């Protein structure tokens, strides 16, 4: 079948099949399952993603719960005014923030690919599906595309913040979501892969620096901004922009950068904004009692 993006694209192009279909064929063999079953499971996962993307849109700030409680509502209200970047992008950000709030407050989420980055793919999928009035099957095919790309990155690099920094968690989530958008809007498999590469290039080197070690700040903001990264990367690919560096080389570069990052910048809360005076103060207020 395939072991990297190049082989995946070769398979799509030589057999004239869409990217999602190649991923389904691999999954059928790997998990001894049927296409119908794959779509059914994907539908259940999407239901959980959608619920998380919407749950916090009307919830007022309550700092006693989490540090990020109320962010989604603020962004959603702002979206109704159109904001500067338009109501669509503001809505997408609100959906991503909602997922992050649900996760931080011990609600139910679907890791995509991780819990810390669980807002990006749902925000993009729900937002684009609404904006373009896409039917459910198109969304599921997008999710399969995203997951197929994510599986290659999981196998050949890493999606762990502790191993590769935020670029490996939120960056990969953005890459997966970008590929999904291209697939849903009728782009080619190659354009999907390009969109993923562009998203990763845009975020190369981003560190994982959670304040007090909690999955809240800057994780919520990174979910919102990487959801937007996914959409603009998809737009660049759909415009025909090439990514001069092939996808597998971009993925490997991300992995190498992750390995080069010092431990202080990989989820340990010892560097970045976690290590600022205010970050340290918040840490003490949580864990000093």
Alpha helices in 119-246 (DSSP H): 120-132, 136-156, 161-164, 166, 172-184, 189-203, 219-238
CA distance 7 to 11: 6
DSSP 59: P
**Residue 1 near other proteins by CB under 8 A:** yes
In this chain, which stretch among 72-80, 111-119, 191-199, 273-281 interacts with other proteins, using CB under 8 A? Answer: 111-119
| Interface with other proteins, residue 286, by CB under 8 A | yes
Q: Do the Cβ atoms of 261 and 155 come closer than 8 Å?
A: no
- Residue with smaller CB distance to other proteins, 107 or 205: 107
Residue 195 or 236 having the CB closest to other proteins: 195
Residues 6+ apart with CB under 8 A from 95: 53, 54, 57, 72, 119, 122, 123, 126, 127, 227
Contact region with other proteins (CB under 8 A), list: 25-33, 130-138, 183-191, 246-254: 25-33
Residue 68 DSSP label:
T
Q: Residue 260 to residues 31, 86, 161, 207, 245: CA-CA distances in angstroms?
A: 35, 38, 13, 11, 20
Least Å distance, CB 190 to other proteins, is: 18
Under rule CB under 8 A, residue 121 binds other proteins: yes
Q: How far apart are the first and last CA of the chain?
A: 54
DSSP structural state of residue 4: S
What is the smallest separation between the CB atom of 49 and other proteins, expressed in angstroms?
Answer: 8
Residue 48 binds other proteins (CB under 8 A)? yes
- Nearest distance from residue 239's CB to other proteins, in Å? 27
For other proteins, the binding residue among 9, 12, 19, 23 (CB under 8 A) is 23
Q: Which is nearer to other proteins, 276 or 286 (CB)?
A: 286
Q: Cβ of residue 143: shortest distance to other proteins, in angstroms?
A: 7
Query: In terms of CB distance, is 206 or 217 closer to other proteins?
Result: 217
CA nearest to 209, candidates 287, 274, 160, 260: 274
Cα dihedral 128→198→249→221 (10° resolution)? -80
Q: Is there binding between residue 30 and other proteins (CB under 8 A)?
A: yes
What are the φ and ψ backbone dihedral angles of 208, each rounded to 5 degrees? -105, 110
Please report, as residue ranges, which positions from 189 to 228 form the binding site for other proteins (by CB under 8 A).
Answer: 212-216
143 binds other proteins (CB under 8 A): yes
User: Does residue 38 belong to the site contacting other proteins (CB under 8 A)?
Assistant: yes
Contacting residues toward other proteins, per CB under 8 A: 1-3, 23, 26-27, 30-31, 38, 41-42, 44-45, 48, 102-116, 118, 121, 143-144, 146-148, 150-152, 154-155, 159-160, 162, 176, 212-216, 286-287
């Amino acid at each position: 079948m395939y072991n990297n993006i190049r082989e995946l694209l070769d398979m799509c192009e030589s057999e004239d099949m869409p990217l999602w279909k190649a991923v389904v064929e691999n999954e059928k063999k790997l998990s001894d399952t049927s296409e119908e079953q794959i779509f059914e499971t994907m539908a259940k996962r999407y239901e959980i993603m959608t619920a998380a993307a919407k749950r916090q849109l009307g919830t007022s700030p309550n700092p006693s719960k989490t540090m990020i409680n109320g962010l989604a509502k603020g962004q959603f209200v702002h979206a109704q005014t159109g904001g500067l970047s338009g109501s669509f992008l503001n809505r997408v950000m609100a959906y991503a923030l909602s997922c992050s709030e649900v996760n931080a407050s011990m609600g139910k989420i679907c890791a995509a690919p991780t819990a810390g980055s669980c807002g990006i793919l749902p925000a993009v999928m729900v937002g684009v599906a609404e904006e373009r009035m896409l039917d459910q099957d198109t969304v599921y095919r997008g999710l399969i595309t995203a997951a197929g790309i994510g599986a290659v990155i999981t196998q050949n690099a890493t999606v762990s913040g502790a191993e590769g920094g935020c670029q490996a968690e939120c960056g990969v989530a953005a890459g997966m979501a970008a590929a999904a958008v291209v697939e849903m809007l009728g782009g080619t498999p190659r354009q999907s892969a390009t969109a993923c590469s562009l998203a990763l290039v845009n975020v190369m080197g981003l560190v994982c620096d959670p304040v007090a070690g909690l999955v809240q700040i800057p994780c919520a903001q990174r979910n919102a901004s990487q959801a937007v990264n996914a959409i603009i990367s998809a737009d660049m690919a759909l415009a025909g922009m090439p990514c001069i560096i092939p996808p597998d080389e971009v993925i490997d570069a991300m992995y190498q950068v992750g390995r080069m990052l010092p431990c202080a910048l990989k989820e340990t809360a010892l560097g970045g904004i976690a290590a600022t005076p205010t970050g340290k103060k918040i840490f003490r207020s949580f864990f000093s009692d």
